[in-house]
Amino acid sequence: MKKLALHWKILIGMALGVVFALLMTNFEFGKEFIKDWIKPFGTIFINSLKLIAIPLILAALIKGVSDLKDISKLSRMGGRTIIIYIITTVIAVSIGLVLVNIVKPGNSISDKTRTELVDGYSNNTTKYKEEASKQKESGPLQALIDLVPQNIFSAATSNRNMLQVIFFAVFFGIGLILIPEEKGKTVKSFFDGLNEVILKMVDLIMLAAPYGVFALLASLIAESPSVDLFKALAWYALTVVIGLALMIIMYNFLVFIFTKKRPSFFMKAISPAQLLAFSTSSSAATLPVTMERVTEHIGVEEEVASFVLPIGATINMDGTSLYQAVAAVFIAQAFGMDLSFGTQLGIIATATLASIGSAAVPGAGMVMLVGVLGYAGIPEAGLALIFAVDRPLDMCRTVVNVTGDAAVSMLVASSVGKLGTPTQKNWDDNYEVSKN
């Protein structure tokens, strides 16, 4: 019997998780059972991925930068990466604004539903407002200050400090390039070996992926709000999902035009990372899998992938920026506000910058949305309107974030002649255990 590919196992795990939760919620003890005995396994799975995110970035980036052996190559690759990321983010925000102005989902919110949502979820928005107010009080160059860590060991204790870890890794890699090769040989060998160990840890963790996503989806369904609230926000959610689907189509178009790779090849290769992104709602947690799919199944050389993908997981949030644009205008429509064309252009710039500073963890988009709402003069209490469906939409937009990272890595690799032939045809080949 042919062994099932990993993405099919993950899909089966997700489906079984949903079915199991729907069955269990019919019993009085069902939700508590899932919360106490099923959800912890999903949490353990996510934590195990987050556990290796920082070591992976350190090892992969230092290895990737030092492999370039030329500062000019680094600057050329870095410039192209940032430019492409910004372009795709602007396109994402623009698509979101066009759709939300055509569909006008906010007009379908009744006064009764609006009041119910605000009353039910206003307490949940407090923490996002507090975090956003702290960011608002900072100076215009605070983001630049935050880029440079005071202590790399302190910065490496949280996935929210990925930009600081990336800064240190690139800085360290540059230093490794600039010293004589024979003196840096031992250090480079260490990080090369560390990178291989971390990738093998990814292989082992992914053995549990189907079970992890089962637990994650079961707990999500069990903890969801009432169906009536979801119906009230159906048009808003549909608008976001359509926009995210258009972004996926755009990535496939760009990949086909600039790399000559078929969309079917790209989607099949990256599908396990997409499914994991959907389950975890975290680009950072999915990063180890994204890197392995891109290098071994798409053919992007490791020196490119190890540079482009960690940066993308931190600053390239196309799905998040599209969602912020749709959410801002939707909330304005729900409150009867008419945003001018100039204000909406400002939303493009604000959402683009906000997505760059958005942490690659679940719920970070909500924090950055407060800044977008503040710019446009939209009541921050409107966050309560979208809180009910934020979790499933967070899952969807993380898929787009990860897909965008993979697509850009292909574009950059192709532009510098580093897009080759995949080294593996089937993900499950990684998990064949030798009998010797």
33: pLDDT strictly greater than 60: yes
Q: CA-to-CA distance for 138 and 122, rounded, in angstroms?
A: 25
Residue 302, pLDDT score: 85
pLDDT in tens, 256-290: 999 999 999 999 999 999 999 998 888 878 888 99
281: left (phi over 0), alpha (psi -120 to 50) or beta: left
Which ranges of 359-429 would DSSP assign to H, the alpha helix?
364-376, 383-386, 390-415
Tens digits of residue pLDDT in 212-236: 889 888 887 787 654 444 554 678 8
Instruction: Kindly state whether residue 436 falls inside one of the protein's structural domains.
Output: no
Taking a C-beta distance cutoff of 8 angstroms, is the pair 85, 332 a contact?
no
Residue 261 within any structural domain of the chain = yes
The answer to the question of residue 1 being in a domain is: no
Top-confidence range, 142-151, 213-222, 237-246, 339-348:
237-246
- Do the beta carbons of residue 83 and residue 333 sit within 8 Å? no
- Residue 169: inside a domain, yes or no? yes
CA 368, 374, 380, 385 torsion: positive or negative?
A: negative
Q: What is the pTM of this model?
A: 0.71
Tens digits of residue pLDDT in 198-217 = 878 877 887 888 898 898 88
Q: What is the chain's mean pLDDT, rounded?
A: 79
Domain that holds residue 418: 6-425
Q: What is the C-alpha separation between 168 and 163, in angstroms, rounded?
A: 9
pLDDT of residue 134 exceeding 70: no
Do 295 and 413 meet the contact criterion of CB atoms below 8 Å apart?
no
Number of domains in the chain: 1
Q: Is residue 435 part of a domain?
A: no
In a domain, 156, yes or no: yes
Give the domain CATH number at 334: 1.10.3860.10
